[in-house]
Chains A and B, each alone.
Chain A
Amino acid sequence: MTTWLELIGKKTDAFVREMGSVVMFFLQTLRWTASRPFYFRNLLRQMEQIGVNSVPVVLTTAISTGMVLALQSYTGFKRFGAQSLIGAVVSLSMTRELGPVLTGLMVAGRAGASMAAELGTMRVTEQIDALYTMATNPMKYLVVPRFLASTIMMFFLSALGMYIGILGGYFVGVKVLGTNPVTYINQSINNTEVQDIWYGLVKSLVFGAVVGLIGCYKGFNTAGGAEGVGKATTGAVVVSCMLILILDYFLSALLW
């Protein structure tokens, strides 16, 4: 019994400590973002790495989701003759929920993992120490550009995801299942407000910050050689996906 309690205690202790150091890392990142010098070239390079190079996976995920959504809701809605509402279902789901969340998860898996692996390798091969010895702050040189790039690019990737998902839904709803295109579009537009889009995009900014922060935190605090890099990478993906899903609920409740 005591060992059991001890284990819970230790785990809780470790968890709270880690939470604390993530928050500290976040505050430091913000502080260094606001101070000079600013490594603009690094930011552009990361925007390409994290943003542009994630376009294919985001496209694939979004189009598949939009198409499946149309198909599945058609099957369900046909049972009570509400096929005309497919458009509204697809566009509402894509903008408010699936666009940002799925993009977040995909980018966490792709870019978050590579961030953690790259910074982790730099840590264990002393490249981060080398930056310090050359009077260059690695928080500023490595972490800030990744954090900003991830936040900014998640916004655009989510917008793209929403748009492509809705197109996929339209294609299946109208071209494959043969619902009326005018009704489809009208239903979509009447039931989706600009606010719904903003609401999804605000979420995506938060998810972008989460992916950048956790990827960098895990990489920056890597210890223990190749195994450590592996653990950091897994940790970055798992933690940022969990955080995205948890925050998604609270953001949905908050941004009603």
Chain B
Amino acid sequence: MPEPMIEITNLHKSFGSLQVLRGVNLTVEKGESMTVIGGSGSGKSVLIKHIIGLLFPDRGQVKIAGQVLNNLDEQQLNELRKKFGMLFQMAALFDSLTVWENVGFGLKQHTKLSDREIRALATEKLALVGLKDVEDKMPVDLSGGMRKRVGLARAIAMDAEIILYDEPTTGLDPITADAINDLIVGLRKKLGVTSVAITHDMHSAYKISDRIAMLYKGEIQEIGTPDEIRNTTNPIVKQFITGSAVGPITAD
């Protein structure tokens, strides 16, 4: 059995007196699409930030392709990060740079390619996410859906092996959201990447995932295929996926 791409063991994280993660265990195989679902404040953003080393565990460990993240120095960490692409919730495009400079940012920093070559590659990646003739626009001139697409193009620009999606459909209208879902599925087929998404949009989770994990109160409640999650008997998971205000989860 090959080594899993991402292996999270007994991950604990607190901020001050607030315990956010209390022993998360999660394994993602190479080429797999894992989605972590959970309510606001369940710790899913904190979890995804641990995977790419934006946050480090208080206890437990995160292993990426066999390397334990906490033990790396700055340079090793940066080498590892080059394996990743990340799509941020609000896209997080650099607003002082044009669209093509955003998409080509990683290439500019880490390769010796000329601006012309970078621009050509950026155009290619933009085409993959269904955008054309936007290279010279500034991020502020784009709609929310287009920003996400540009963010996605930026995430795949360095030929990442792992793509992280932080709420890929949040803040988009249902049709644009579904177009983004299709893109995520399509890119995975084309590029064969491993991906981890966090979301509370169940429609999106069912569509893009091989497996879904439900995070609640800092622990994984259940992991299963979309079908297994649909037919769950766990009352917490059941309440979340049906979107009911009545049940063991209470809004706070």
Is B81 a contact partner of A126 (Cβ separation < 8 A)?
A: no
Chain B interface size, as a band, is: 20 to 34
Is B105 a contact partner of A134 (Cβ separation < 8 A)?
A: yes
Which residues on A are within 8 Å of B, measured CB to CB? 122, 125-127, 129-130, 132-137
Is A133 a contact partner of B86 (Cβ separation < 8 A)?
A: yes
Q: Inside 8 A of B93's CB, which chain A residues have their CB?
A: 127
CB within 8 Å for A129 and B106 given contacts A134-B81, A135-B78, A135-B79: no
Is A133 a contact partner of B84 (Cβ separation < 8 A)?
A: yes
Is B109 a contact partner of A127 (Cβ separation < 8 A)?
A: no
Q: Inside 8 A of B49's CB, which chain A residues have their CB?
A: 129
- Closest B-chain residue to A118, C-beta based? B96
- Count contacts between A and B, CB distance < 8 Å: 46
Q: Nearest Cβ distance between residue B154 and chain A, in whole angstroms?
A: 8
Is A126 a contact partner of B94 (Cβ separation < 8 A)?
A: no
Is B82 a contact partner of A135 (Cβ separation < 8 A)?
A: yes
Q: Nearest Cβ distance between residue B166 and chain A, in whole angstroms?
A: 8
Contacting A at CB under 8 A, from B51-80, are: 52-54, 74, 78-79
Interface check B206, CB cutoff 8 A: no
- Closest A-chain residue to B166, C-beta based? A126
Is A134 a contact partner of B88 (Cβ separation < 8 A)?
A: no
Choose among B89, B94, B110 the residue that contacts A135 (Cβ–Cβ < 8 A). Answer: B110
What would 14 A/B residue contacts be, using CB atoms closer than 8 Å?
A: A126-B88, A126-B89, A126-B90, A126-B92, A129-B54, A129-B92, A132-B53, A133-B85, A134-B81, A134-B109, A135-B79, A135-B109, A136-B105, A137-B78
Complex CA gap A227/B86 in Å reads 27
Is A125 a contact partner of B90 (Cβ separation < 8 A)?
A: yes
Question: Given known contacts A132-B53, A133-B54, what 16 new A-B pairs fall within 8 Å (CB)?
Answer: A122-B94, A126-B88, A126-B90, A127-B92, A129-B49, A129-B54, A129-B88, A129-B92, A132-B54, A133-B84, A134-B105, A134-B106, A134-B109, A135-B81, A135-B110, A137-B74
Q: Inside 8 A of A137's CB, which chain B residues have their CB?
A: 74, 78
